[in-house]
Structure 1
Amino acid sequence: MSLRKLGPILSQHVEHYFLISLFFNVSLFVVNFVYSLIFQNRLLGLILGIIFLVTVFLNLGAVILSDTYIKRYKKGRLGKWTDVLSYVYLIYLLLNTTFFIMLQFEIISWILNQIFFHILIGFSILYIYLNYTLRKKEEGAEILFKSKGIKALKITLSLFCGLVFFLMFFLLWGMLTGGPPLVGIGTGSIMNWTSGFFLFIIPTITILFLKLFTKRNHPKLRAGFLLLGIIFTSILTLPFTSVPFMTLDADQQFEKYFGEDWNNFDAEVEEKFTQFHWFLGEYYFGIPKIESNNFEVERDLLYSKTDEYELRYDAYIPKKDDLLGEDATIIYIHGGGWTEGDKNAHPELLRYLACQGYYIYDIQYRLADFSFASELAGIDTEISIGAPADEDLVGDWTIDDLISDIANFTRFLHLNNEFGANLKNVYFMGGSAGGYLAGMASFCFNEGYWNFSPWLNITGSILFFPPNDAEHFFYDLGIFYEKGFIPGDKTPKEDPDLYKKLTPSESVDKDDPPCLIFHGTSDSLVPYENSETIHKEMVDHEVPCILVKGYFGAHGHTEAAQHLSIARYYMERFLYLTK
């Protein structure tokens, strides 16, 4: 059947399409309103996310249909208003997407975002209803760009569309390849948080551009922009379409170590777990803030004091005895390239685990006095790769000093267990540089070199994108070696055993506790191969080790909403199965 014959047939069903789109828009309004009232209902959040995505693409399809099939009906005032509203809808959809992204970074409040979002739904319902009415009345006309003001607006919007596509090229390059380390951190981190939003920003920009340029006058330009829009949108689906493969692989690893029934729990346990790997509602509408009476937080408690520095920690203390964690202990170590960062870097994750009954100790340690980011960039820069550091902890310290701080805390905890944590079930957890220190503590705990407390029983470790190759990070990068970060200023040739001792995977043996690792495949700062090496060593020594591969995830990918929900799903099960 030719396209010329197919057109009238499809045109007959345009009216039904608008009715379906109108139904989804109203459903989105109702479900979002109910979700707002019962914010903690995660099944409803999953449904809301699906309805939201379907509705957005239905509305974008309505804009295309409005221009393609009912141009001949647009001759009256109603038709002009409908065409104007199509531009308003596309522009406001882009603006509202910006608000969604700002919500992820907590720049605007959840309530303010809801106000903007309901305005968007109102626009959508009005626009779809006008199109439906227009189709019934068969009236309307295209608005032509004749006035100087409209022409200037057309030029402005065209330049905006082109700029977005230009930036999109670099962002997708970072998402797929990781890019150079410092650039990759920027582009990769942006895509960690925003790929799901760009998934409908790019189609919106594409449709807006096609509306601005007529097919008669700019056929090649329209075709090229449309092709780029399709390619970009297809690439943007990869982080989402890869989720089933990621979770299937992780599920199989859990089954290997914990049996076929690893994910079957008693009803009272099951109801306290995250029920789904991933929640579209949380991704687009934000992760609920955890306000619970299940725990309390004691901050800035002292665990080590000298004439040169003071080291402190925050304690998350469960209040109930019938929680999943059963008072097990988690020692959390922040990241920051061994040169930056501080405790309280990820409070929501720690609050979530404290709600489940785990004692969390979020600790400080000493930091080296130089800029890791400057070395990556090759120039002197103020760019930070971690949270601001406590300046009192920054000095000419070595990696030995940092590991010794972690060991010192274990001895302190044994002697000062004032909150009553279960020290027979202790986990080390950390991300990036903190993941390295957590790995060193977990794998070297019984070796005696750093004098960890022998009275703590290490049950497991959870590592987020941990560095592993000491020779690469502490010698090949240059700045760590030049600043005396390695004890004795030895090179790998002069003292290969020292660098092996400082490489977590080299300390793995059959007596080490189980380990859960999260790492993104597009991590340019700490390449994915670092975690692969740890995983291989543990598997070779027949120690349970589960590596959750975050496809297209850059450094810090589990901090973004879509990856955080997956991390929580596996973390809580790993902790419960190993304690």
Structure 2
Amino acid sequence: MVKLSLTIILFLISLLTILPAPAFYLWLLAIAADEFSWVFIAVLLVVILVSFKPSAYQTPTLIVSFIALFIFASPIARAYFISKKIRNDMASAFGDHSVASQKPFSYPGLFKSNISIPYSTVSYKKTDKGNLTMDFYPSAIPGVKPCVIVVHGGSWKSGDSKQLPELNSVLASKGYHVAAINYRLAPSYQNPAPVEDVRDALAFLKEKAAAWHIDSGNFILLGRSAGAQIALLAGFTLKDPEVKGVIDFYGPADMVWGYSIPSNPLIMDSRKVMEDYLGGSYNTHPQNFEKSSPLLYVSNQSPPTLLIHGENDVLVAYEHSKRLNAKLSTNGVKHYLLTLPWATHAFDYNLNGPGGQLSTYAVMYFLKSVTN
């Protein structure tokens, strides 16, 4: 009975790889089910081996175990099939570029350890409530190199530059400077304050270009979630010719539409989050929602854009990226949408997982294409 109960629990967890999580803590579990699925597979294999010994409930235990095993393996299988076409798809979008010694996805890559590049924290802007800082990861490859500015997530009201630092180290190891910035947070500050902070971080890095060996003509903005909205808005409105591209990890691109379709309240009160950032509801401040919608600022002059989103995202609907993808297409902007059918919000918590590997490859390919 214990083995059967365990397999039923594992089966229910496996469903999070194909269905949206219905509550906050199940969303966190969904990240584990999607991106650490090999752990659950290993447990199930042990259960299956033990269950071949005749015992009570042997048949139902084996049946449920094999079904759960198949479902847990699905993100890995789907990542494999996406990896077979991602290079050609990105070549069509951005031109043919080689990403040296990097595969889009590999099974051994699931078990790799992360690297860590030392960084320094420096102030880049004074505000009425103290200094804003950035974590600067110098390129591990000598020479004048492009710089990626990373804008963290956190519903515009939390989070900091230390969030999900693993990709920063990967980029630095591949020859890019990385500046992970802090910005002014809601509700004390509202849009466009964070975009202004990105602008000032750009100006600061340009001043430091000679001393820090930054290629001042090659900046890329990368944001996650709320940070992606900020990065997109900055990329589309600042019109800085030195910003060569924008990378959007599961960001809200249409704030007007997003307010009309709130998230599951058991996950997040998305309307309250947006109201804190924009000064009130859409009914009372419609212009604020419009001014904060990156989608409305897309033009044929917008920089190349990489969108990365999971279809099972329960915090920021995948529809945001579909809408932005269509608008970029209409305006003839170079872009690519990497869709991960199984993935939820913050899937890149594990860079070695199926979604983490594919997204890292896409980022590296994009950087190679826009900084050459």
Q: Identify the TM-score tier after normalising by the shorter chain.
A: 0.7 to 0.9
The residue number in structure 2 matching 1:278 is: 105
Given residue 149 of structure 2, which amino acid in structure 1 is its aligned partner? I
Across the aligned residues of Structure 1 and Structure 2, the Cα RMSD in angstroms comes to 2.5
Q: Deviations over 1:461-491 (max 9, x none)?
A: 1111112231365675332355x4314x3x4
CA distance in 2, matches of 1:569, 1:194: 18
Distance change >3 Å, CA 248–CA 537, structure 1 → 2: farther
**What's the CA shift for 1:546?**
1.0
Q: 1:360 aligns with which of 163, 170, 178?
A: 178
Structure 2 residue aligned with 1:569: 361
Q: Residue 177 of structure 1 aligns with which residue?
A: 19
> Relative contact order (C-alpha < 8 Å, sep 6+): which is higher?
2
1:465 matches 2:250: yes
Q: Is the 8 A contact 1:522 1:554 kept in 2?
A: yes
User: Matched residue of 1:516: which SS?
Assistant: strand
| Unmatched runs of 5 consecutive residues or more in structure 1 | 1-157, 370-395, 447-453
The amino acid across from 1:517 in the alignment is: L
Matched residue type, 1:538: L
Judging by fraction of residues, say which structure has more strand.
2
Cα–Cα, structure 1 residues 274 and 496, in superposed 2: closer, same or farther, change >3 Å?
farther
Q: Tell me if 1:315 matches 2:136.
A: yes
Distance 2:5 2:60 in 1: 15
Q: Which residue number corresponds to residue 168 of structure 2?
A: 350
One-letter amino acid matched to 1:333? V
Match of 2:40 in 1: 198
Amino acid at match of 1:233: L
Tell me: CA distance 1:203–1:577, structure 2 relative to 1, closer, same or farther (3 Å): same
Cα distance, 1:181–1:404 mapped onto 2, change above 3 Å: farther
Equivalence for 2:310 = 520
Read off the aligned partner of 1:207 and give its amino acid letter: L
1:129-183 residue CA offsets vs partner (Å, 9 max, x unmatched): xxxxxxxxxxxxxxxxxxxxxxxxxxxxx42x23422322332222211122524
Return the alpha-carbon distance in structure 1 between the equivalents of residues 233 and 23 of structure 2.
24
Structure 1 CA distance for aligned equivalents of residues 221 and 92 of structure 2: 23
CA deviation profile, 1:178-211 (whole Å, cap 9, x unmatched): 1225244222112133212222322321332342
TM-superposed CA distance for 1:416, in Å, is 4.4
How many correspondences in the alignment? 360
**Contact conserved, 1:274 with 1:569, CA < 8 A, in 2?**
no
Q: Deviations over 1:436-460 (max 9, x none)?
A: 21111112222xxxxxxx5x51101
Letter in 2 for 1:367: L
SS of 1:312's equivalent in the other structure is strand
Identity %: 21
Q: How far apart, CA to CA, are the structure 2 residues paired with 1:239 and 1:194?
A: 10
Report the Cα distance in structure 2 between the residues aligned to 1:319 and 1:276, rounded to whole angstroms: 21
**AA of the residue aligned to 2:115:** K
1:182–1:525 contact (8 Å) kept in structure 2: no
Q: Deviations over 1:509-551 (max 9, x none)?
A: 1111111122112111112222111111111111111111122
Report the equivalent of 2:120: 298
TM-score, with structure 1 as normaliser: 0.58
The answer (yes or no) to whether the contact 2:195–2:231 under 8 Å persists in 1 is no
Query: Are the equivalent residues in 2 in contact too, given 1:290–1:351 (CA < 8 A)?
Result: yes
User: Do residues 428 (structure 1) and 221 (structure 2) align?
Assistant: yes
Shift of 1:314: 1.5
Contact 1:520/1:549 (<8 A) preserved: yes
The question of whether the paired residues in 2 share the 8 Å contact of 1:354 and 1:360 is answered with yes
Instruction: Determine the C-alpha separation between the residues in 1 that align with 2:5 and 2:153.
Output: 34
> Going by fraction, where is helix more abundant, 1 or 2?
1
Kindly indicate whether the alpha-carbon contact (under 8 Å) linking 1:474 and 1:480 is maintained by their aligned counterparts in 2: no
Q: Tell me, in whole angstroms, the C-alpha distance in 2 between the residues paired with 1:253 and 1:544.
A: 12
Partner Cα distance (2:5, 2:185) in 1 = 40
Question: Is the aligned partner of 1:535 residue 2:320?
Answer: no
**1:149-548 paired onto structure 2 within 5 Å:** 158-159=1-2, 161-180=3-22, 182-211=24-53, 213=55, 218=56, 221-259=57-95, 262-263=96-97, 265=98, 273-284=100-111, 286-290=112-116, 297-299=119-121, 301-318=122-139, 320-321=141-142, 326-368=144-186, 396-417=188-209, 418-446=211-239, 454=240, 457-471=242-256, 476=262, 477-480=270-273, 484-487=276-279, 489=280, 491-548=281-338
TM-score using structure 2 length: 0.87
